Amino acid sequence: MNSPVRHLMQAGRLERFFIDGEWTVPEGPDRVAVVSPSTEETLCEIPLGNARDVDLAVQAARRAFARWSVTSPQERAAQLDRVHTLIIERAELFATALATEMGAPISYARAAHVPLAAEHIRVARDNLAKYPFRVQRGTTAVAREPIGVCALITPWNWPIYQITAKVGPALAAGCTVVLKPSELSPLSALLFAEVIADAGIPAGVFNLVSGTGPDVGTSLASHPQVDMVSITGSTRAGVLVAQAAAPTVKRVAQELGGKSPNVVLPDADLPRAVSLGIAAAFRNMGQSCSAPTRLIVPRSVLDKINELAVAATEQMIVGDPFAEATTHGPLANCAQFGRVQQMIEAGIDEGTKLIAGGPGRPAGFGKGFYARPTIFSDVRTNTTVAQQEIFGPVLAILPYDTVEEAITIANDTVYGLGAHVQGSDRELLRAVAASIQSGQVHLNYPAWDPQAPFGGYKQSGNGREYGIEGMEEYMEVKSILGYYD
């Protein structure tokens, strides 16, 4: 038995929710199996919540809001500091949980998933300490106040990272929360609830109810005492949440799907642009909503780019997530494995040129949700692999003849979450970035910035996460006219 499962069982957490500061027995009998993506064996079972569990958690959060919302920024910052410290101290347990529950290579969990998750808490703490909750404009005071009880719905692909990206700024703003983590990767969420309890966060400020979207997600979105829903997930899930929330006219912040372009300009350093582009597209086994899975390149150098892309893919080691040499583990669950295989077959059926990978598991794997890193080249922009979010290690290389055509291809999608542009001419880089319809644009693979607002245009959602803007999502604006110092 893997250590996070054993730890949670021994601590009596695996069969419970975290409500009002207590590990609580669920109301209903329903359970779901948590399956190892590397072995396809059942790791454990967790309970699934219902509307009654949701109501208990929401009422606890409502009671706690009266106290938490009026604490000083310094008090909340001190609480978040303890949460940050405990995540760092328990980093190895979190990393093991991520490798166990969703197949992240242990090296990548240690280097990215866990430390970046901790960064969201640190940033929330630091922004809170200096944030002006009230500013004066002449005789009017403009105040920002916590919106209230927030339902946070997080996905399976970056489990702890997405939890802290929502919980950190929500608590910093003075809100209380009910978290619904994915039932497919719940172990890291339960470990985070332990951190919250051990950090001394007051009862009811943070609550956790596991369950499915149709049951717990819908109950949270429609609950009249929930003031805001923040969801990270598929565009389909975001639409359903918004529909459930509409009758109560609550705020819905959505971070949804993507089909992000990576535009390689004619003056780009091709070896760097392609090798890092492959790495960015296939990080986390391609299971990232902002992964740049459309590589848009000059037609005149398409053959050279194909060579570079195939060579970069051949450096990847798909294998056991607990093996130190592994760079890419399995896909996170059976349903996603099936979808990726379906999309690869669709690309082949449409006659798109396959230059790397293909359907099925890599050689040597008879079980586990392992997929072959796959590249299609000379792709038309109207094909399945160029238009649909695959959420796996599948890259489409699309050629262009002019920079204007490259921009048109980049924007030829219903999504607008992230984008990349590679080149040497600074003015051209910035001009192309300004022309792309997406919430983030990365120029020449910059370092990750936890203060950079993240969110989408078009069907990639609304609202922003990370940084100051991420915290402000959890606030209401109040104008007080005739306010004199």
Q: Which of 44, 150, 175, 289 is catalytic?
A: 289
CB 115 within 8 A of CB 164: no
CA-based angle 105:254:346, to the nearest 5? 60
The tokens describing 327, both together, are 């760079």
Nearest to 78 by CA among 35, 125, 147: 125
CB 106 within 8 A of CB 321: yes
Using CA atoms, how far apart are residues 16 and 87, in angstroms rounded to an integer? 21
Q: Name the one residue in this structure whose structure tokens are 């999309």.
A: 343
Using CA atoms, how far apart are residues 348 and 171, in angstroms rounded to an integer? 48
CB 451 within 8 A of CB 426: no
Instruction: Please confirm, yes or no, whether 255 is among the known catalytic residues.
Output: yes
CB 393 within 8 A of CB 293: no
The tokens describing 366, both together, are 């008879």
Side-chain-side CA neighbours of 83 within 13 Å: the count stands at 33
Instruction: Please confirm, yes or no, whether 150 is among the known catalytic residues.
Output: no
Q: Which of 101, 119, 194, 255 is catalytic?
A: 255
Which residues are marked as active site? 255, 289
